[in-house]
């Protein structure tokens, strides 16, 4: 669970005192009961149901009802139909992740190590945009990138963009939107672990003949690993399941798997297909997450 | 030579400021557009300066209804999720019990599940159980995805707390309840407040899960979504700017009140566990 | 609280604490007299804190009893015991002012007007005027005094102090030791003071218990323990000793005869803890006197011969290492009183002692000579 709590990953708490009586032994269960029940009923059960729905007879409909036919073929079917969107989801999210790392690491590092007494102010600047509604911000990007906006005009003038070139409704816009929207989730955990980095360690490394690049590679990077892992996951998981950016900043050519699932449930009302797609998405994300965690090799995570 | 030296020393800070500029850019646009009189309903370009939008933020009354509904849901979801999550955090940090790893998975999974999947699966549950969708199903959904974040935030604070303080209190004649009331609660409170703020911001801004479980009820993000197709009233930008200003004000106030440590905690506490408030 | 309950000694009876299979405190029995200053001395990890926690009620004993007077308090909750603790880390409440920290215990017991008492207590620990500060705004030494005031104000029957001076620098530590002793004499409360600093234990306590691996090795007045240690561990934990492996061959004429490394020695029977079989013959380094040749040894004294391999000048004394013919290096401390010349490294020397200063301890048959290296400032070297 430390995945999402880099701030709490110090030494484990001292062992609680031995149970004093039966009532005391029961207490943790009483404390857990309401929350765990809520999660089980409204997260666990629906997930199981969704799994079931993904195996319904695809020829049914919401009005006529669905028959459970263990239609495992739903999975290859949807994969066949929507593999480009799947690939695109992970491609865009991966690209956005790379961009976010390039932007976010220096930002987190600067706030944690270089900003001195300004660090809280800068941190506020990272957090505050999240309080403006996420949709409103994405729509603002639509304004910024619009064809007759200042940015496009400028790029056309300096010939970085063809006279009829556009930014909006391109893969570029979607990736930019994803990067923008989830950047704080990468920066904050990264900041939390970089902030605890003792800068004397870097001095010690330089004292021991490490160049700045080596000092970064051998000291800073490994020590910021827990934050980096947590931030990467917090960025990647929602980014790959997102469909708002593709919808508002792209065209159907940029649609991600989220758009397909959304329309399967809310437009086409094809529940078996939507459920199968949801499950595939979740399975793919979990596979990526656990593969990544294994490679990152930080036992401090999860 | 001197310039390259200067750059070498400062490039990290320069990059950081540029990235902050990138983060701030849409906010500036939103703030600017809140003073705009659009030329047509579908235009997003700046046309003419006006204060009308701020004078009459509720000119489009269904938008204000949506904001009020979002605040109501956010408030209720925050209270419920904070209570449930705090109890769970206490159980996890302070007690040894069987099934702890199962509980940990149950808390972790919602954070690793795309919101889309949670939204669709919950929809499937409500449909099959014949529950009419609306205010209450939204509330249920919001509590569900906020709880995990509350647990993680409070847990971090609780785990960092020195158990010996409570032992010292007991040693000084404080009963279990008095120890909780006088020592534990005040010391964990910043974590609980941070968790509550986080829960509220997650709930207030959620679109994806809400969209699947709202029926005909409209929250603020859903209103914005719907309006995006028809043309957004400029008052939406007023709400966006106001939310931003309130957030800044809250953080500013808390940092004025609290000492450095507490302030850093308010930010870094939820920082580690924030997810996208969509 | 102390005023209502009948006075009494603190007694631990067969107290045992196990963590899993690990025994932290092993069948501990001792009595601490009312109003005495008792020091629990031992290396880190030997179970001192665990013992205190059981007395305070913060840890439940696996078996055994804690008795106060004739009252069994073993199962009493911590807040029901007339016992207070000064924690190793102070454990001051960071969110409360110094005043409220000190007033905490009184308020919990429902006492309304605490102002006078708190003010008096703060001035006892010389922190007048600090009441409105937060713990984080005080220095280590000041925090320590707040922790003391916070416990003392409750006038407990027993005050437990868990290495309260550990974090202080040497000068402040000396100062606080004197202050603690003064306060203890003034208020007349039983102090149980845990420390791993032998000098601290010896200067402050009426009674010292030396603890090792969860057991008490020896208990007594500091001087008694120092002069006549009960075990090899105590002999080298409290100060330093030269222990020579030998065989005792029985009592004759009030002395125990010992053969060690081919030489015959004797130790008064009153200073022998074994009369037969394998023994350690012990002499403290400062009880050894170095001379150039055997004919300078006064009558009635015993000696060994060796080569001086090291001499370190430490101001009040000079510390020599003398390698004996069988290879063991003995420590010898010579006071720099100006009456004797320094001995050069490499020269042959004779170390002699008065048999009344030696002591005899039972020894495991497999054990050989034991002399500890000079790691710390030796106790008694300056006296
Ligand atoms: N809660 C615990 N669980 C397991 N082992 C413990 C616990 N508390 C103490 N110990 C072990 O018991 C031994 C004695 O600890 P302690 O009483 O703290 O020693 P010290 O003499 O340094 O104060 C140590 O080896 C320590 O590791
Ligand atoms: Mg200890």
**Closest residue (by CA) to atom 14 of ligand 1?**
C47
What CA–CA distance (Å, rounded) separates B42 from B30?
16
User: Residue B269: is its pLDDT beyond 70?
Assistant: no
Q: C36: CA distance to ligand 2 center in Å? A: 21
pLDDT band, very low/low/confident/very high, at A3 (cuts 50, 70, 90): very low
Which atom of ligand 1 lies closest to the CA of A14? 1
| Tokens (6 digits) for C130 | 């600090």
Of the listed ranges A26-40, A191-205, C69-83, C119-133, the least confidently predicted one is: A191-205
Q: What is the pLDDT of residue C380?
A: 39
Decide if B51 touches A, using CB distance below 8 A: no
User: Residue C266: is its pLDDT beyond 80?
Assistant: yes
CB-based contact B167 C87, cutoff 8 Å: yes
Q: Which ligand is nearest to the CA of C17?
A: 1
**Closest listed residue to residue A121, CA positions, set B252, B10, B249:** B252
Which domains does chain C carry?
A: 10-224 (3.40.50.300), 241-362 (2.40.50.100)
**Scanning the structure block, which residue is given the tokens 């004759």?**
C252
Residue numbers in A near B27 (CB within 8 A) = 128-129, 132, 137, 140
Spell out the domain ranges in chain A: 83-296
Residue numbers in C near B164 (CB within 8 A) = 87, 89, 91
| Tokens (6 digits) for C51 | 């013992």
CB-based contact A131 B27, cutoff 8 Å: no
Q: What is the pLDDT of residue A300?
A: 42
Higher pLDDT, B38 or C205: C205
User: Candidates C17, C18, C50: which one to mutate for ligand 1, based on the most atoms within 8 Å of Cβ?
Assistant: C50
**Closest listed residue to residue C85, CA positions, set C152, C33, C140:** C152
Q: What is the pLDDT of residue C282?
A: 94
Of the listed ranges A158-162, C10-14, C155-159, C187-191, the least confidently predicted one is: A158-162
Instruction: Work out the number of other CB atoms within 10 angstroms of the CB of residue B101.
Output: 9
Q: What is the CATH number of domain A83-296?
A: 1.10.3720.10
DSSP state of C272: B
Residue numbers in C near B165 (CB within 8 A) = 91, 93-94
What CA–CA distance (Å, rounded) separates A289 from C309?
65
What CA–CA distance (Å, rounded) separates A283 from B1?
54
| Tokens (6 digits) for A67 | 């028959």
Farthest-apart Cα atoms in chain A, separation: 79
Q: What is the pLDDT of residue A192?
A: 83
Spell out the domain ranges in chain B: 1-55, 62-219
- For the stretch B216-259, pLDDT in tens is 899 999 999 888 877 788 888 898 899 888 888 877 776 666 54
User: Residue C227: is its pLDDT beyond 70?
Assistant: yes
Percentage of chain C exceeding pLDDT 90: 61
Q: What is the CATH number of domain B62-219?
A: 1.10.3720.10
DSSP string across C65-108: EEEETTEE-TT--GGGSSEEEE-TT----TTS-HHHHHHHHHHH
CB-based contact A124 B239, cutoff 8 Å: no
- For C213: left if phi > 0, alpha if psi spans -120 to 50, otherwise beta; the answer is left
Q: What is the ipTM of this complex?
A: 0.84
Mean pLDDT (chain C, rounded): 88
Higher pLDDT, A98 or C164: A98
Higher pLDDT, C154 or A217: C154
DSSP string across A127-178: HGGGGS-HHHHHHHHHHHHSTTSHHHHHHHHTTSS-TT--STTSHHHHHHHH
Q: What is the dihedral of CA B203, B204, B207, B210, to 10 degrees?
A: 60
Decide if B118 touches A, using CB distance below 8 A: yes
User: Residue A42: is its pLDDT beyond 60?
Assistant: yes
- For the stretch A98-153, pLDDT in tens is 999 999 999 999 988 887 777 777 888 887 787 788 898 898 898 888 888 778 88
| Tokens (6 digits) for A202 | 């870097």
pTM listed for this prediction: 0.78
């Amino acid at each position: 669970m430390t995945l999402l709590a880099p701030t709490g990953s110090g030494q484990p708490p001292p062992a609680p005192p031995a149970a004093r009586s039966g009532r005391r032994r029961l207490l943790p269960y009483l404390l857990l009961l309401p929350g765990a029940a809520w999660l089980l009923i409204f997260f666990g059960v629906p997930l199981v149901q969704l799994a079931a729905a993904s195996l319904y007879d695809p020829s049914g409909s919401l009005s006529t009802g669905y028959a459970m036919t263990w239609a495992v073929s739903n999975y290859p079917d949807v994969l066949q139909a929507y593999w480009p969107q799947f690939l695109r989801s992970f491609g865009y999210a991966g690209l956005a992740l790379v961009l976010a790392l390039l932007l976010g690491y220096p930002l987190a590092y600067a706030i944690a190590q270089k900003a001195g007494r300004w660090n809280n102010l800068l941190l506020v600047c990272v957090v505050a945009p999240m309080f403006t509604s996420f949709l409103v911000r994405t729509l603002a990007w639509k304004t910024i990138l619009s064809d007759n906006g200042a940015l496009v005009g400028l790029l056309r003038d300096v010939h970085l963009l063809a006279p009829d070139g556009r930014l909006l409704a391109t893969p570029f816009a979607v990736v930019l939107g994803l990067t923008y929207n989830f950047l704080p989730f990468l920066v904050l955990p990264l900041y939390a672990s970089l902030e605890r980095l003792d800068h004397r360690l870097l001095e010690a490394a330089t004292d021991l003949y490490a160049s700045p690049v080596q000092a970064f590679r051998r000291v800073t990077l490994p020590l910021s690993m827990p934050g980096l892992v947590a931030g990467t996951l917090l960025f990647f998981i929602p980014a790959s399941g997102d469909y708002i950016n593709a919808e508002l900043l792209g065209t159907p050519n940029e649609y991600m798997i989220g758009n397909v699932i959304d329309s399967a449930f809310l437009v086409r009302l094809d529940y078996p297909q939507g459920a199968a797609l949801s499950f595939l998405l979740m399975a793919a994300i979990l596979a990526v997450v656990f593969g990544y965690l294994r490679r990152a090799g930080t036992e401090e995570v999860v | 030579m001197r310039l390259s030296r200067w750059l070498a020393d400062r490039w990290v800070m320069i990059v950081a400021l540029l990235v902050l500029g990138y983060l701030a850019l849409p906010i500036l646009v939103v703030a600017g557009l809140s003073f705009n009189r659009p030329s047509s309903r579908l235009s997003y370009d700046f046309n003419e300066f006006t204060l009308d939008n701020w004078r009459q933020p509720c000119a489009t009354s269904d938008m204000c209804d949506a904001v009020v509904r979002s605040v109501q849901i956010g408030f209720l979801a925050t209270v419920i999720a904070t209570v449930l999550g705090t109890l769970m955090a206490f159980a996890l940090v302070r007690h040894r019990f069987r099934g702890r790893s199962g509980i940990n998975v149950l808390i972790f999974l919602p954070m690793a599940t795309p919101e889309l999947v949670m939204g669709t699966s919950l929809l499937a549950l409500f449909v099959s159980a014949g529950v009419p969708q609306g205010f209450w199903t939204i509330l249920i959904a919001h509590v569900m995805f906020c709880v995990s974040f509350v647990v993680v935030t409070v847990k971090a604070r609780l785990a960092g707390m020195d158990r010996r303080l409570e032992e010292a209190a007991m040693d000084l004649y404080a009963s279990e309840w008095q120890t909780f009331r006088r020592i534990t609660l005040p010391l964990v409170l910043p974590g609980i407040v941070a968790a509550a703020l986080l829960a509220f911001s997650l709930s207030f801004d959620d679109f994806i899960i809400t969209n699947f479980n709202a029926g005909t009820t409209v929250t603020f993000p859903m209103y914005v979504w719907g309006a995006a197709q028809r043309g957004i009233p400029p008052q939406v930008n007023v709400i966006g700017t106001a939310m931003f200003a309130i957030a800044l004000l809250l953080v500013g106030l808390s940092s004025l009140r609290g000492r450095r440590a507490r302030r850093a905690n308010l930010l870094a506490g939820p920082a580690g566990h924030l997810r996208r408030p969509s | 609280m102390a005023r209502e309950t009948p006075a009494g000694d603190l007694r631990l009876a067969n107290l045992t604490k196990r963590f899993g299979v690990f025994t932290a405190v092993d069948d501990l029995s001792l009595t601490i007299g009312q109003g005495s200053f008792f020091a629990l001395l031992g290396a880190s990890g030997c179970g001192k804190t665990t013992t205190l926690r059981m007395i305070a009620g913060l840890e439940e004993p696996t078996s055994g009893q804690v008795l106060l007077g004739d009252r069994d308090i073993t199962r009493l909750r911590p807040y029901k015991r007339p016992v207070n603790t000064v924690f190793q880390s102070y454990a001051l409440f960071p969110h409360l002012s110094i005043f409220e920290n000190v007033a905490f215990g009184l308020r919990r017991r429902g006492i309304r007007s605490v102002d006078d008492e708190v003010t008096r207590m703060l001035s006892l620990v010389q922190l007048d005027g600090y009441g409105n500060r937060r713990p984080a705004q005080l220095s280590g030494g000041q925090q320590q005094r707040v922790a003391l005031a916070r416990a003392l104000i409750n006038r407990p029957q027993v005050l437990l102090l868990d290495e309260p001076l550990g974090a202080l620098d040497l000068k402040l530590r000396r100062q606080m030791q004197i202050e603690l002793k003064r306060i203890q004499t003034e208020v007349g409360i039983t102090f149980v003071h845990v420390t791993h600093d032998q000098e601290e234990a010896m200067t402050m306590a009426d009674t010292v218990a030396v603890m090792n691996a969860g057991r008490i090795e020896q208990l007594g007045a500091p001087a008694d323990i120092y002069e006549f240690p009960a075990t090899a561990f105590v002999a080298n934990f409290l100060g330093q000793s030269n222990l020579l492996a030998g065989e005792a061959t029985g009592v004759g004429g009030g002395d125990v005869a010992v053969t060690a490394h081919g030489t015959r020695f004797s130790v008064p029977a009153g200073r022998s803890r074994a009369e037969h079989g394998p023994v350690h013959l012990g002499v403290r380094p400062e009880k050894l006197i170095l001379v150039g040749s055997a004919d300078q040894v006064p009558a009635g004294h015993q000696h060994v011969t060796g080569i001086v391999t090291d001499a370190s000048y430490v101001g009040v004394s000079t510390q020599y290492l003398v390698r004996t013919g069988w290879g063991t290096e003995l420590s010898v401390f010579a006071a720099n009183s100006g009456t004797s010349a320094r001995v050069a490294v490499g020269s042959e020397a004779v170390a002699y002692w008065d048999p009344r200063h030696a002591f005899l301890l039972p020894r495991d048959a497999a054990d050989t000579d034991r002399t500890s290296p000079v790691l710390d400032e030796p106790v008694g070297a300056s006296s």
